[in-house]
Amino acid sequence: MARHGRQHIEQHESDGNAVVASAIDLVKTYGADDAQVRALDHLSVDFARGEMTAIMGPSGSGKSTLMHCMAGLDQPTSGKVMVEGLEVSSMNQRQLTRFRREQIGFIFQSFNLVPTLSAEENILLPLQIAKKPIDRAWFDKVVSVVGLQQRLSHRPSQLSGGQQQRVACARAIMARPSVIFADEPTGNLDSRTSREVLGFLKHSVHEYGQTIVMVTHDPRAASYADRVLVLADGRITQDLRHPTYQEILKVFASDDDMNTDAMDYGAEDSKSADGRENARIAGTQVETHDADAHESNIEPTSNVDVPALVSPKLSIPKAEPFDARIGGNGAAA
């Protein structure tokens, strides 16, 4: 282990927080030797139980690569990934499939619900795939917290964007995974619905002790986190504890990508005379309807390159999240 990696982990353990997952001196490179790109450059970090960590940085900084390696979706070129004492980076494909089914939860920007299943069936699917018993008391609690009691029999096409994402959140937490990885979970939502989803994620951390690692471009979304890691060129440049929205904005004051996203997310909602909401996104008035739970499904208007939850070597079709390659919790098998 590199000396700086060991020092980082020892320092975090000294804070009194149990470490759930660790990246130890991670290096990840892509391409041939003559055109090699280093996505992670000797990066070491650990994630504590019961914390929500946001990972930020401009496109190409290594955010998604770090998430892929931590979740076992991609193999590091060198270094180690540890989750709950298991060395993920040394697992074979069969072991990785079991690991992702039992230890990892995912929340996708595009929801990735099974269209032919009801909301309840989507939430319980990870447990059924893993052949785990269903804790109805826990199910009822999760459904109540996300406010889906009246929508359990509805299919995704009958739900608003915010409701679909809440189903995805409930699905991710239902199996009580060691870590939930959230990839731009509010990227397809308007600001009001985003606050509801982020509020649930924060609640699950502080009330249930869930560990969440979220990749985001949005400073306002990141302000919900207990910790914000800022990446650049495959390295952690800043490690912020409980930063405010304004403090996060200052970090990216000169970054055009991040400023564009801040403008997109931070646009204010207003009420028109006929009672319909107008969400002003990226300077464009997008009309939404408040017919159900004050939610809408607004497509993102930012031109910023949002990283997908797949590596250059791994293809996971968005429309088929539970095909032969998909395991529990919405994770790739």
> Could you tell me which residue, 161 or 310, shows the higher pLDDT?
161
pLDDT band with cut points at 50, 70 and 90 for residue 8? very low
CA–CA separation, 63 vs 168, rounded Å?
Answer: 21
Q: What is the pLDDT of residues 76-94, one digit of tens each?
A: 999 999 999 999 999 999 9
Q: What is the pLDDT of residues 96-115, one digit of tens each?
A: 999 998 899 999 889 999 99
Q: Following DSSP, what letter does each residue of 81-112 receive, concatenated? A: EEETTEEGGG--HHHHHHHHHHHEEEE-TT--
For residue 89, the tally of other CB atoms under 10 A from its CB is 21
Q: Across residues 172-183, what is the average pLDDT?
A: 94
Q: For residue 313, what pLDDT is reported?
A: 31
Whether the predicted pLDDT of 199 surpasses 90:
yes
Q: Across residues 191-210, what is the average pLDDT?
A: 93
Residue-wise burial string across 262-284, b where 16 or more C-beta atoms lie within 10 A, e elsewhere: bebbebeeeeeeeeebebbbbee
Label the pairing between strands 235-241 and 227-232: antiparallel
Q: What is the pLDDT of residues 257-314, one digit of tens each?
A: 555 444 344 333 322 222 222 222 222 222 222 223 333 332 332 222 222 222 233 3
Q: For residue 259, what pLDDT is reported?
A: 52
pLDDT mean across residues, the chain: 77
- Percent of the chain topping pLDDT 90: 62
Q: What is the pLDDT of residues 37-68, one digit of tens each?
A: 999 999 999 999 999 999 999 989 999 999 99
Whether the predicted pLDDT of 214 surpasses 70:
yes
pLDDT band with cut points at 50, 70 and 90 for residue 31? confident
Structural domains of the chain, ranges and CATH numbers in brackets: 3-304 (3.40.50.300)
Strand partners, 46: 22
Q: For residue 314, what pLDDT is reported?
A: 30
Supply φ then ψ for residue 152, to 5 degrees: -65, -30
Mean pLDDT lowest for which of 24-33, 75-84, 117-126?
24-33
Q: Across residues 181-185, what is the average pLDDT?
A: 94
Whether the predicted pLDDT of 244 surpasses 50:
yes
CA–CA separation, 66 vs 264, rounded Å?
Answer: 25
Q: Across residues 196-209, what is the average pLDDT?
A: 94
- Percent of the chain topping pLDDT 70: 71
